[in-house]
Structure 1
Amino acid sequence: MMSSERVDGRTLRFQHRRPELLAAATEYVLDHGVTGLSLRPVAQALGVTHATLLRHFSSKDELIKCVVEKMRTDLFAQVTADRELKEAGSTAELLRITWRRLCEPKEQRQFLLLFETVAGEGWRSGDGGELARSMDDYVDFISGWLRQDGWAPEDASTLATLLLAQIRGLQLDLLVSGDRARADRAFEFALTLLEPRTGPSAP
């Protein structure tokens, strides 16, 4: 039996449609962050009962885990299916397109959530869960492009890791300082790491 909390059309719409509820919850978390997050305000904002939210997500931690997983799978699916990225002529061009998009306010919310989550959890167990898997996804993706540009597999993985670290760090700097011009210059400087290797590695 449903609780005595107010039930509206959205409650009924979401009751058996977890993907839609998760999508709405993801937008809420991206807008509000995870510090002090409570399921009752989330449920109220989504127009569902607390009981409905708990039926799909057993706890706040479970909701956050599912949100991060959705962000990871959605973003990676977008990146790998994007026509402009597929047609990039080099790794540097691919990263320039990606950087430009990541600097859009809507996309920056993901970095805010990343930094907030890492700061709050501290990965005491040494396992970053979905966040760690997300890093692996992008290291592999960029490594593939670097290998096409002539980098040896081990060097490609190392360089991809370094470039991702640069992007994350510069996004943090941009979020704090708001100085887009400086962040852009630093990003272009980071891309000079790609310049020395123009052909296949020497045997």
Structure 2
Amino acid sequence: MSTDRKKVDGRAVRYQDRRPKLLDAVTQYVLDHGAAELSLRPVAVAVGVTHATLLRHFSTKEGLISAVAQHIRESFEHDLTTDPQLTTAESSIELARAVWRKLCNPHQRRQFALLFELASNRSRNRNTVDPHQLSESMVGKWVAMIAEQLQADGWTKDQAILRATLFLAQIRGLQLDLLLTNDHVRLDAAFEISLEQLHH
């Protein structure tokens, strides 16, 4: 076995029982490079594991991308309870503003670039990820998370789901606009208008 091969195999040990750390590294790679031309072997080299290690954890390219999409949402949920910028918000509207500021960070915008790429692949029947998994991870669970916050403000469940659906769509539309134009002033103003629907 070559020296390089031994080195890669040795580094793989650090992820042996630490899937979360491996998933973090893989997620950053996918956010940086996108999903369209993704191949497991270059991912493995970039994060310092063997191809076999990726297959053991994710089985397929589709499984890896699905895990990344879920990880992005779960990381956001974690931030809601740990990030001081978010935990100090005293209302849904304050929380929404804090989230918007966070998402406008260039580093965070990569998430939306990936979302739009996956949505485009889905619309063209390029089955990068199972359609049901994609819709649940990118839409259903996000709507449920926002609706839960709105119900805490006094909206009924049905009202909260509809307003969460509309608000999520508006945020993603604004983010797409931001990716294309980088016009923060106009989009920040538009975002403030979108907050009106959250007033109970």
TM range (shorter): 0.7 to 0.9
Q: Higher helix fraction: Structure 1 or Structure 2?
A: 2
- Aligned pair partner of 2:150 in 142, 146, 152: 146
Report the alpha carbon displacement of residue 123 of structure 1 after superposing the two structures with TM: 8.4
Q: Secondary structure at the match of 2:146?
A: helix
Alignment RMSD? 2.6
Quick check: 1:52 aligned with 2:56?
no
Contact 2:147 2:161 in 1 (8 A): yes
TM-score, structure 2 as length reference: 0.84
* Deviation by residue 1:162-189 (Cα, 9 ceiling, x = unmatched): 1111001100110011111111111111
Instruction: Quickly say closer, same or farther: Cα 1:102–1:128, change in 2 above 3 A.
Output: farther
Write the letter of the residue equivalent to 1:95: A
Q: Which ranges in structure 1 are unaligned for 5 or more consecutive residues? A: 198-203
Partner of 2:173: 169
CA distance, structure 2, for counterparts of residue 191 and residue 4 of structure 1: 58
Write the letter of the residue equivalent to 1:173: D
Partner of 2:64: 63
CA distance, structure 1, for counterparts of residue 90 and residue 17 of structure 2: 45
Q: Which ranges in structure 2 are unaligned for 5 or more consecutive residues? A: none
Report the alpha carbon displacement of residue 4 of structure 1 after superposing the two structures with TM: 8.7
Report the alpha carbon displacement of residue 83 of structure 1 after superposing the two structures with TM: 4.6
Contact 2:73 2:142 in 1 (8 A): no
Partner of 2:43: 42
Deviates most, 34-43 or 77-86: 77-86
Partner of 2:14: 13
Q: Secondary structure at the match of 2:6?
A: coil
CA distance, structure 2, for counterparts of residue 79 and residue 73 of structure 1: 10
Quick check: 1:109 aligned with 2:110?
yes
TM-score, structure 1 as length reference: 0.83
Report the alpha carbon displacement of residue 31 of structure 1 after superposing the two structures with TM: 0.8
- Aligned pair partner of 1:183 in 178, 184, 187: 187
Contact 2:19 2:57 in 1 (8 A): yes
Contact 1:3 1:51 in 2 (8 A): no
Partner of 1:29: 30
Report the alpha carbon displacement of residue 148 of structure 1 after superposing the two structures with TM: 3.7
Write the letter of the residue equivalent to 1:37: L
